[in-house]
Amino acid sequence: MSDAIAEPAVTGALPSAGSTAGTGESFTDRLRRPRTYVLLIGSVLLLVLPFYLDRFWLQAGLFAMAAAIGAIGINLLTGATGQLSMGHAFFLAVGAYGYCVLAGGSGTENGHAFSGLGLPTWLAAILAVLLAGAAGGIFSPIAGRLRGAYLGIATLALIFIGQHVLFNAGSLTGGFNGRAVPPLSVFGLTFDDSELVVAAVPFQSAEKLWYVALLALLLSGLFARGVLRGRPGRAMNAIRDHRIAAGVMGVPVARYRAGVFVLSSMYAGLAGVLLALLFQRTVPEYFGMILSLEYLAMIVIGGLGSVAGAVVGAAFVSLLPQVLTHYSDSLPLVSAPGTGGLAPGEASRYLYGAAVVAVVLFLPGGIARPKNSGEKK
């Protein structure tokens, strides 16, 4: 983008979200706001939760954090740039299976031969995220030229292609039965179920992975927030609100669309790696169209174009089926899977489907919509 043309025009059309320029608000004033204390208390709670929660709630929290990272990625694409994507699950699968192939070695499991590179797991995780970005880069020329429903239909094709590959490339993916996930190992610390006692509390895989996921979510959120509040974010919003006007002001529309698509794919790849480490086994059925629809529900419920909205929506959509499953014995109309009646997964889809309708009707900006009404989120 030309600094001489695009910067003044885009900046004038869409101010940076949360900017304190011209408001007279100092750093000390921001520290005194109640929201700052809430964030500090919440951060401390998140750090100490592994010492108090049981395995179920830790795994549920891990699942929510991984989902939040993926939701931030699709919110950059759909919420901030206005590009509809139905293929987010494909890039999660690239991250999850890419990690398995890069970190796993060649061998056999239940008489089935597997191929793998056997790289160090920390390197495999990084390369898997880059691999998801490369997959997005291959598709980005299409993403740069299509918009709206046309892009949604094009990305939907990725789901069908991905499912075909996952079920048929048995030596890489394990086919229908999936593939075991090598545990992450960093600086000699292995994130598996071998016990590590910290302050008289046994740390197994869930407790160890908690801090990895928390750090990944923090860095992902801060980076996305910086993008949205900077010049790229203003250009993305301009493309979303009025593509032709953005092009006239000097914004390279196709280049931004392609770039955001790659960035969104990398976020999905990171989420896929974390999900694989959490599940300890990847199965193709999980990475289908329903997963992509769930990610769209996350950003609609939480708030389009908002990092906080992506996290809130991801927590709601990802935790709801797990909570319903956990308490299915004591909830009316909900029964344990396979026992007849309404399964927790179905009940959760009905509930967050109703939540999407309610948000669209009564909270168009989402649950975590920004206070600044001048911002279109």
DSSP annotation string for 222-233? HHHHHHHHSHHH
Distance of CA 283 to the CA centre of its chain: 18
pLDDT tens, 78-98? 989 989 899 999 999 999 999
Prediction pTM value = 0.84
What pLDDT sits at residue 291? 93
Q: Assign 199 a pLDDT band (cuts: 50, 70, 90).
A: low
pLDDT tens, 31-52? 667 767 777 787 788 888 888 8
pLDDT for residue 330 is more than 80: no
pLDDT for residue 238 is more than 50: yes
Mean pLDDT of 281-299: 92
pLDDT for residue 109 is more than 50: yes
pLDDT for residue 69 is more than 90: yes
CA distance 285 to 294: 14
On the 0-12 / 13-18 / 19+ scale of CB atoms within 10 A, 263 is: buried
Stretch (H or E) spanning 173: helix 170-173
What pLDDT sits at residue 260? 93
On the 0-12 / 13-18 / 19+ scale of CB atoms within 10 A, 76 is: buried
Calculate the dihedral angle through the C-alpha atoms of 252, 258, 259, 265, rounding to the nearest 10 degrees. Answer: 160
Q: Please name which of 180, 209, 181 lies closest in space to residue 194, comparing C-alpha atoms.
A: 209
CA distance 27 to 360: 36
pLDDT for residue 233 is more than 80: yes
pLDDT for residue 23 is more than 50: no
What pLDDT sits at residue 244? 87
Is residue 75 within 8 Å of 314, Cβ to Cβ?
no
pLDDT for residue 371 is more than 50: yes
Residue type, 34: P
Kindly state the tokens that stand for 307.
């990092």
> With the C-alpha atoms ordered 50, 56, 62, 64, is the resulting torsion angle positive or negative?
negative
Q: Assign 25 a pLDDT band (cuts: 50, 70, 90).
A: low
Q: Please name which of 1, 10, 76 lies closest in space to residue 262, comparing C-alpha atoms.
A: 76
What pLDDT sits at residue 181? 92
pLDDT tens, 118-171? 899 999 999 999 999 999 999 988 888 887 788 888 999 999 999 999 999 888
The domain segmentation of the chain, as residue ranges, is 6-17+27-288
CA distance 57 to 207: 11
Residue type, 295: Y
What pLDDT sits at residue 31? 61
Phi/psi of residue 180, nearest 5 degrees: -70, 145
